[in-house]
Structure 1
């Protein structure tokens, strides 16, 4: 899956081609060609760097890098600041904030920040190089660790870059000390990911077709490839309504709560079914896969999903929902 090149990333590509660069890129030397670079402690929380006098006639451009940050963050900041210097329409003085949610600025500022990030990502992790790497192995965790090592970038920066290249139905978790350090998913993936800081659950995606894992020091990088279709046939001859009633009774849903519970189940089914319709993938097998993604990461529905009749219920519902492509579904009450 190719990355859609933006104007900022194309500037980075031209620089790579002109200088025949390959990872690990010597970003500091590149930046020093275009600006005076100063390493200094910046005593304001959340600021990675500052660009002064960008493209101001008669004044040399100066770049200040926050020396208090870890090496990999400083390296990405250097690439980010080089983006500001190279991109023609970035002018004046730009203060680069680490925590944008805490700062109120005009929209143009954040456009510049995103553009500089696009430049930095392409420079440090060139898309052509990444395409070759991803084509060389199916183990995404190995690719992830290799990008971190060869490109000298953080695991989080490498994940963001990989997610732009990979197809839907993929989820990622960085695990550290039994906790979710950070997590994410590729565009088009229906399954949600656990919040950062939650306890890591190795069985969260047990329906995945592949689970790749590689250690990176104290961190473990997990990648799951989820199915886009599941070919399955129901074992039980019972209609789905009877199956649902059995599951609800077996898992102990109180009588007064059963209507609400079934409405929640109906909402999840409808969302999965609707997603497949919008993608022109409205087949039984695709709806089953979508339902698994929607249901299996819901901690409040663990008992429902773990019930031995769960798959029969999903299969029967998928069969009915896709029997007529114009069907809107039926009440589960």
Structure 2
């Protein structure tokens, strides 16, 4: 039910949560922003359908809920709303149609009829590391994808530095507001393994580490760190094109304490081979069962 109340920071109220579930009621604050109300309704539905969220009475659906430093119930409800209003299957279709044109992809998201923040949240759900979006509505918002390395500069200088350090950038209109995008990942070619190279992925990694670390015990420690650093990123990239995964994982390694390994051809070859394995589904677990 749409109702008027003066507390602008409270977008919705749920009642009847501790009694008969048939008496649960959802009240949405009436505004002149129907897209925001639509997102609020999907957000509240998330609270009702995710069983560990109840009881909860009041909601503050912020424009930047996914920027919270901890994984909260409000963030989970926002993810639910994003998935409901911008389904993965539809989003992937738009990604395929737009190809490498990020400005075109942003324009296609207008068809989802969600707020600018919700549309960008959906993109962040899908895209790998290396993208930053800057939107201008009531206030400037900077939204990097997971694992993206942002320049270590004051906030008021960040956009200027992004523009100077990015490898590509552009803009598009989303719900009447300009959205600027920056591609921070370097568009490198995917290294190819020589057909007569008999080394396993592990041996390629250890050969790369041996070029910078003479101590055997330290090599093993760095090897474990390398697998841990890229493991989570590779899981996120399951089924993606190897070149896309390679570029994103390489970008993540720029923030790693052993980032000097990026200068070693064998380390880049190891990242490329791991990226190819993720694209084809040939993970270590699957290979061991074959």
TM-score normalised according to structure 2 size: 0.56
CA RMSD of aligned residues (A): 4.4
Unmatched runs of 5 consecutive residues or more in structure 1: 1-36, 102-106, 232-273, 281-285, 295-316, 326-333
**1:226 equivalenced with 2:189 (yes/no):** no
Q: How does 1:110-125 map to 2 (within 5 A)?
A: 111-125=72-86
**1:63 equivalenced with 2:21 (yes/no):** no
Deviation at 1:319, TM superposition (A): 9.2
Could you tell me whether the CA contact under 8 Å between 2:129 and 2:251 is conserved in 1?
no
The answer for the alignment partner of 1:215 in structure 2 is: 173
Find the aligned partners of 1:118 and 1:142 in 2 and give their Cα distance.
23
Find the aligned partners of 1:203 and 1:193 in 2 and give their Cα distance.
9
**1:94 equivalenced with 2:53 (yes/no):** no
DSSP-derived class of the 1:205 partner: helix
DSSP-derived class of the 2:6 partner: coil
Q: How does 1:241-256 map to 2 (within 5 A)?
A: none
**1:84 equivalenced with 2:47 (yes/no):** yes
Deviation at 1:60, TM superposition (A): 1.4
Given the alignment, which residue of 98, 106, 109 partners 1:144? Answer: 106
Deviation at 1:318, TM superposition (A): 6.1
**1:74 equivalenced with 2:33 (yes/no):** no
The answer for the alignment partner of 1:48 in structure 2 is: 11
DSSP-derived class of the 1:187 partner: coil
Deviation at 1:98, TM superposition (A): 3.8
Task: Indicate the structure (1 or 2) with the bigger Cα radius of gyration.
Answer: 1
Find the aligned partners of 2:177 and 2:154 in 1 and give their Cα distance.
17
Deviation at 1:50, TM superposition (A): 0.7
Could you tell me whether the CA contact under 8 Å between 1:172 and 1:184 is conserved in 2?
yes
**1:163 equivalenced with 2:121 (yes/no):** no
Deviation at 1:168, TM superposition (A): 1.2
Gap change, CA 1:277 and 1:112, over 3 Å in 2? closer
Find the aligned partners of 2:11 and 2:35 in 1 and give their Cα distance.
12
Deviation at 1:131, TM superposition (A): 1.2
Q: How does 1:98-109 map to 2 (within 5 A)?
A: 98=61
Could you tell me whether the CA contact under 8 Å between 1:168 and 1:188 is conserved in 2?
yes
Deviation at 1:183, TM superposition (A): 1.2
Gap change, CA 1:82 and 1:194, over 3 Å in 2? farther
Given the alignment, which residue of 182, 204, 229 partners 2:162? Answer: 204
Gap change, CA 1:54 and 1:145, over 3 Å in 2? farther
Deviation at 1:67, TM superposition (A): 1.1
Find the aligned partners of 1:212 and 1:100 in 2 and give their Cα distance.
23
Q: How does 1:268-279 map to 2 (within 5 A)?
A: 278-279=229-230
| Count of residue pairs brought into register by the alignment | 208
Unmatched runs of 5 consecutive residues or more in structure 2: 65-69, 190-224, 232-246, 268-290
Deviation at 1:63, TM superposition (A): 0.7
Deviation at 1:136, TM superposition (A): 1.5
Find the aligned partners of 2:170 and 2:227 in 1 and give their Cα distance.
26
